[in-house]
Structure 1
Amino acid sequence: MERKSIIWKHIKEHRMSYLFGFALLSIASVLQLVIPTLLGVFTDRLEMAELTYKEALTFALWMVLAGIGIALFRSSSRIFLFRLSRLLDMRIRDELFKHWETLSTHYFKNRRVGDLMSHAISDVSVIREVTQNGIFNTLEAVVLISITVVTMVTSVDPLLTLLTLLPLPLLSVLAYRFKRRIQKESTSVQEAIGDLTSRVQEFVAGIRVVKSFLQEKEQIRLFRQDNGHAVAMNRKLVKSNSLFGALSSAVVGFSFLVSVVLGGIMVLHNRITLGEFVAFNSFLSLLMGPIENLGKVVNTMQRGKASEERLLAILNTRADVADDSNADPSVQTIGGEIEIRNLTFCYPESKEPALRNISLKVPKGTSLAIVGRVGSGKSTLVHLLVRLYNPPKGTVFIDGREISEIPLQVLRGHVGIVPQDQFLFSTTIRDNISFDPKPYRDEEIEQAAKLAQVYDNIVEFPNQFQTALGERGISLSGGQRQRVSIARAIIKKPSILIFDDSLSAVDTETEDRILEGLDTVMENRTTIIIGHRISSVQSADQIVVLEEGELVERGTHESLLEHNGIYADMYHKQLLDEATRQQEQEWEEEAVDGVSDYKEPVQSRQGGEVAAAQDSRAGTKLASGGRAG
């Protein structure tokens, strides 16, 4: 169901608490009328020279007691009402975060991190300000203005009250004229804050690239540009607020002018007493604060409306990947048999299908390798298997059951995936490996690290498994991040294990050790391996080759080599590249040895004949190294 309001829903749910806070504020407002009334009586008694010392002390005592009562009830109402606004603040952030977790990766793919942070921090803070100062000032203005005007009419003079308050409706006209302007400028301010936050987040995440390419000055320029834009937007909003405040003060000042001039004339004509004149102006002074605050409330409400619309746009976004109505709650585990039937899939923002007419079957406990060029659809296929995107109906089945019938929590809880980006959280290595609702013992964590061939690296750190990682695991190398990601996937002992090009950042020797250690993990588990290196996929039970989203080859390593197609071409190219790298490495080692042999006799000076012989041998090796180059 679409939500239409955040603020009013909160007020409705806590209406009894708001009524109690309103009652406290009303008592404080009534007590504020006591002091002007006492001042009026005090002035009349003083003018008539009838004031005694005892009466003066009595007046002073009542004023002090009224002041204490005002402070007590007003502060109590503020604390009570402000507490409710903080509850809303916390509640919105909780709801926002929970709602984000229900949305698919497609939602976050099209949005900047800075904008999301701006929603969670800046927009929520504006909403809190509406329910905090906005509601408090509105309630105080309504109560105080109402009872003060009634008191002014009944205790002083109706005509003077009417003429004095006559200019005040102009404030409503001003508020209406500034309404759209302030709301529009407030939206621009929030967007500028989002741009600035995104710039900082992007800089921090890419600090290595910035420094490697000497882009510090350019980043400073871009930051100043966004910072300047944010300042400019805030200045426009401040100008509008200041202009509205100045015009509001002018209207209020004109009311005071009317009060002083007409009230003074009435005192001279004995229409009202001097005490009534003093009391009237004291009453009017009480009104000025709430009336001016109403102007601020209009500004706050318009800013709040802009922020509320931005937040509602998120909260009303429906999750496009969720448990279907046909999901079977009785399914608590999966075996691992995978079948894909005539799968054609197109991303929401794309017109061309990423996958076309894919059909294959992976029996339980067997392994499937997927190879292909960049952009051929390998990762897309994996994303559909864990329902990061919804596959078309009747195309993807697990254990003979359509994937939409399996609850998401069960599906993802029994699938272990090592993604391409190897994202690690800025917590400890232990927490990253045991990143699962299920708790794990230290022995299980260490065993997973050993199978992933990262244990030896971890124990070299001073804090070992308690080593805290930086942002996105920046303190680890690319290969170490990949191996920690592998450990994180295999520790949960899933029914289906997916490696999405997860060995690209390790050398071939480490790759061989990882694959050897994973043999026991992959046993009796359905395993899908996506890779560019033939060495990491050649032992799979079946291998498929994707080309531009289509399945063009399938078979075992030997049968695909005999087929002499794309797979065989990739295999021979990698063999050639490996042989070339090996030869170059041998030549470099020979060249280094030659330089070492050349330098030693020169430094030692141990006889002419020995030196000559060594120089001759070194020259031969250097010549060999030069041909290699």
Structure 2
Amino acid sequence: MQKATIFREYFVNKRRPYFFGFALLSISCLLQLLIPEYMGQFTDKLKGHELTYHQAVRYALLVMAAGFGVAFFRSVSRTYIFRLARVLEMEVRSKLFAHWERLSAQYFNNQRIGDLMSHAISDVGVIREVTMGGAFMVMEAAVLITATVTAMVITVDPWLTLFTMLPLPMLSVLAYTFNKRIQRQSTEVQEAVATLTSRVQEFVAGIRVVKAYVQEKAEVDFFTRDNQDAVEKNRQFARSNSLFGALSSGVVGLSFLISVVFGGVLVLNGTITLGSFVAFNTYLSLLMGPVENLGKVVNQLQRGRASEDRLLAIFMTEPDVVDDTEAVESIEQLDGRVDIKNLTFFYPEAPEPALRNISLSVPKGTSLAIVGRVGSGKSTLVHLLVRMYNPPKGTVFIDGHDIHEIPLKTLRGQVGIVPQDPFLFSSTIRENIAFDPCPHSEEDVLEAARLAQVYDNIIEFPEQFETTLGERGVSLSGGQRQRVSIARAVIKKPSILIFDDSLSAVDTVTEDLILEGLHSVMNDRTTIIIGHRISSVRHADQIIVLEEGVIAERGSHESLLAKNGIYADLYRKQQLDEAAEGLPAEECVEQQKPGMKLKGGLAL
């Protein structure tokens, strides 16, 4: 979508349905013009003592028939136009969701969940209101004002019509005066709602932390502050709307005053009949509703413009990671050989590189382990392998193909990644494991659960694999969530399997069971393991140690221990921790003294 096209494109694409709704509404408006005519004729006959009982009944039936006709065509046209608005709401929300799916991870790193929810619900809702009530009122005003003014000029008096209409252009002046204020306040209201939504979402997601740190009162204070801000923004918006509405009503009242005074003079002078005067004021009463509605439409349009600008800002945001023009569509299967050559990577707007001069090769079917301190670039490296971010061209290769040449669908379909923070959907355990778009049999799901060592836990639940999880899988323990996430990656049977510190929430015994269960899976595919525990990486074919984005050490477990560097230091500390777990506190202190021996005989 390009600038300012949400409304325009929809009206152009739906011009025939809208024309049909406009035709139905026009019939309703034209039928309304019969009522003043009948009222004028009735008044003249009544004043001239010419009205008979049968004529009175006839006029009553005519007015009633016109009223029923107006109600019928107005309700049908209203329903038809409102249905079109609901279709627009559905289409815009669907396009918004689809566009979000195209955007890169970096976009969501800079967005609050509450803002995204506000865009999908509040802003799209405003778009629907504009194309629903706004479109209806504009159509009605266009037909009714034109037809009514024409009838007033032709059937009553052109000069009376002219003088009565003189105050109405003031409505345009008012609309112009309030235009920017209402648009600005509408944007502030939407932003306040987004902030409030973010506050609620953050509270719900972090409820356990809030309770653990006894921060209920502080959270209530934060919420109260944001809630009061939202109320104040809405009050300001309501004040502007009310003032605009009151001034508009004053303009309309001035037109009625001119009609009564000047029209009364014309009746006394005999220029127009009393029936014409009654008809004129009935015409005017029909006219005032659409004229006042125009003021409401101006407000709706300003709110719609603010929401449209917010949505267009999203639609005009292009994803950072897309299929390159040189992507080879014929690449549909990967063997799994990974080569990285002189990779240096900067995060957007970061002054220092996250990775520097990384070069390594992982042959097909072998395993690579990555260890290092927090922030050393381990997760960054594997994120580049699935192009969550774009590595520089000519630095990352899979099966000899530059990663930019591989279609994203193929790349991500052939790589199974178990993230550091496992995310589970609010659905059943079965659906979470079989999340891969390819169909999987019951046996596939069970086998994946067994390999991830979570099968025994699942069958203990009353509903077993049909157990519905809470939001983000909150009804499972951290270790169970990690193992379900592992099962979800394993069931894909990918060419490259990545574990991003995905065993941190399980004990060492379960870790050994998982690694043993995955041994057959890892044998015939390339495996990359990020781990903090040496026990989870020691059997890898090659191990690299990252330090501040640079490969500080590389080799096998034994060769790295022999180097007595960073890796060996990490190993000794973990050995000490494991040894200390079963010892009294004072013994642990003694154990840390230089020269002491651990149970394994390793000197510190």
Deviations 1:139-192 (A, max 9, x none): 100110001001000110011100011000000000000000000000000000
- Bigger mean CA deviation after superposition, 465-474 or 181-190: 465-474
Give distance in 1, aligned partners of 2:207 and 2:317.
33
What is the DSSP-based 3-state SS (H/G/I as helix, E as strand, rest coil) of the residue aligned with 2:304?
helix
- 2 CA distance for matches of 1:348 and 1:266? 76
Answering whether residue 259 of structure 2 is matched by residue 259 of structure 1, we say yes
Query: Which residue matches 1:488?
Result: 488
1:97 and 2:97 equivalent? yes
1:321 paired residue number: 321
Distance 2:358 2:568 in 1: 21
Counterpart contact for 2:453–2:483, Cα < 8 Å? yes
Q: How far, CA to CA, are the matches of 1:125 and 1:2 in structure 2?
A: 20
1:64 aligns with 2:64: yes
Tell me the equivalent position of 2:152: 152
| One-letter amino acid of the structure 2 residue matched with residue 123 of structure 1 | D
Separation in 2 of the partners of 1:159 and 1:4? 42
1:211-256 per-residue CA deviation (whole Å, 9 max, x = no partner) reads 1110111111111111000000000000000000000000000100
SS at match of 1:161: helix
Structure 1 position 38, deviation (Å): 0.3
Letter of the 2:342 counterpart: N
| Alpha-carbon distance in structure 1 between the residues aligned to 2:351 and 2:214 | 38
TM-score (normalizing by structure 1) = 0.92
8 Å CA contact retained: 2:179, 2:302: yes
Structure 2 counterpart of 1:48 = 48
**Which SS does the other structure have where 2:342 is aligned?**
strand
Q: Is the 8 A contact 2:365 2:527 kept in 1?
A: yes
SS of the aligned residue for 2:529 comes to strand
| Distance (whole Å) between structure 2 residues aligned to residue 2 and residue 350 of structure 1 | 30
Which letter maps to 2:525?
R
Match for 1:227: what amino acid? Answer: N
Contact 2:152–2:283 (8 Å) recurs in 1: yes
Partner in structure 1 of residue 136 of structure 2 = 136
Query: How many Å apart are 1:193 and its aligned residue?
Result: 0.2
Alignment of 1:438-453 (within 5 A): 438-453=438-453
- The aligned counterpart of 2:78 is 78
Counterpart amino acid of residue 205 in structure 2: A
In structure 2, C-alpha distance between the alignment counterparts of 1:323 and 1:263, rounded to whole Å: 73
1:552: Cα distance to partner? 1.2
Matches within 5 A, 1:151-550: 151-550=151-550
Whether the 8 Å CA contact 2:337–2:363 is kept in 1: the answer is yes
Secondary structure of the structure 2 residue equivalent to 1:582:
coil
Cα drift, residue 52 of structure 1: 1.2
Q: Is the 8 A contact 1:3 1:315 kept in 2?
A: no
Question: What is the CA–CA distance in structure 2 between the aligned matches of 1:435 and 1:233, rounded to whole Å?
Answer: 43
| 1:269 Cα deviation after fit | 0.8
Q: Per-residue displacement from partner, 1:95-119 (whole Å, max 9, x unpaired)? A: 0000000001110011000000000
User: Aligned partners of 1:349, 1:192: CA distance in 2, in Å?
Assistant: 28
Amino acid at match of 2:167: P
Distance in 2 (CA, whole Å) between partners of 1:3 and 1:10 is: 14
2:230 partner letter: A
Please name the residue that 2:593 is paired with. Answer: none
**Partner Cα separation in structure 2 for residue 464 and residue 415 of structure 1:** 28
Q: Which residue of 1 aligns with 2:119?
A: 119
Q: CA deviation at 1:584?
A: 4.0
CA-to-aligned-CA distance 1:510-545 (integer Å, 9 cap, x gap): 001101001001011000000000110000000001
Q: Secondary structure at the match of 2:332?
A: coil
Alignment of 1:564-575 (within 5 A): 564-575=564-575
The percent identity for this pair of structures is 67
Q: CA deviation at 1:586?
A: 13
The answer to whether residue 565 in structure 2 is matched with residue 578 in structure 1 is: no
**Could you tell me how far apart the structure 1 residues matched to 2:375 and 2:512 are?**
26
CA contact (8 A) 2:4 2:308 kept: no
Once residues 4 and 41 of structure 1 are traced to their aligned partners in structure 2, the CA distance between those partners, rounded to angstroms, is: 50
**Structure 1: gaps (5+ residues):** 589-629
Contact 1:114/1:196, CA 8 A, preserved across alignment: yes
Match of 1:597 in 2: none
Secondary structure of the equivalent of 2:553? strand
Determine if contact 1:126/1:304 at 8 Å carries over to the other structure.
yes
Instruction: Provide the C-alpha distance between the structure 2 equivalents of 1:18 and 1:426, rounded to a whole number of angstroms.
Output: 40
How far has the Cα of 1:577 moved from its partner?
1.2
1:3 Cα deviation after fit = 4.1
CA-atom RMSD in angstroms: 1.2
Deviations 1:564-614 (A, max 9, x none): 1111111111111111113249999xxxxxxxxxxxxxxxxxxxxxxxxxx
Give secondary structure in 1 for the equivalent of 2:583.
helix
Q: Does 2:18 align with 1:18?
A: yes
| Aligned-residue offset at 1:400 | 0.1
Q: Classify the secondary structure of the residue corresponding to 2:581.
A: helix
Structure 1 CA distance for aligned equivalents of residues 318 and 387 of structure 2: 16
Distance 1:242 1:68 in 2: 33
- What is the CA distance between 1:57 and its match in structure 2? 1.5
Aligned equivalents of 1:4, 1:25: Cα separation in 2? 27
SS of structure 2 residue aligned to 1:427:
coil
Q: Distance in 1 between matches of 2:135 and 2:527?
A: 59
* Contact 1:267–1:273 under 8 Å retained in 2: yes
**Equivalent residue letter for 1:549:** G
Return the letter of the residue paired with 1:386.
Answer: V
Deviations 1:364-402 (A, max 9, x none): 000000000000000000000000001001000000000
Superposition deviation, residue 76 in structure 1: 1.1
Check whether the contact 1:248–1:292 (CA below 8 A) recurs between aligned residues: yes
Give 1:428 deviation, angstroms: 0.8
Distance 1:584 1:310 in 2: 61
Distance of 1:238 and 1:349 partners within structure 2: 41
1:605 aligns to what?
none
1:129 and 1:496 map into 2 onto residues whose CA distance is: 49
Match of 1:39 in 2: 39
Native 8 Å contact 2:104 2:319 kept in 1: yes
**Residue 7 of structure 2 corresponds to residue 7 of structure 1:** yes
Q: Distance in 2 between matches of 1:568 and 1:223?
A: 49
Q: Distance in 1 between matches of 2:411 and 2:488?
A: 17
Question: How many residues are matched?
Answer: 588
Q: SS at the partner of 1:453?
A: coil
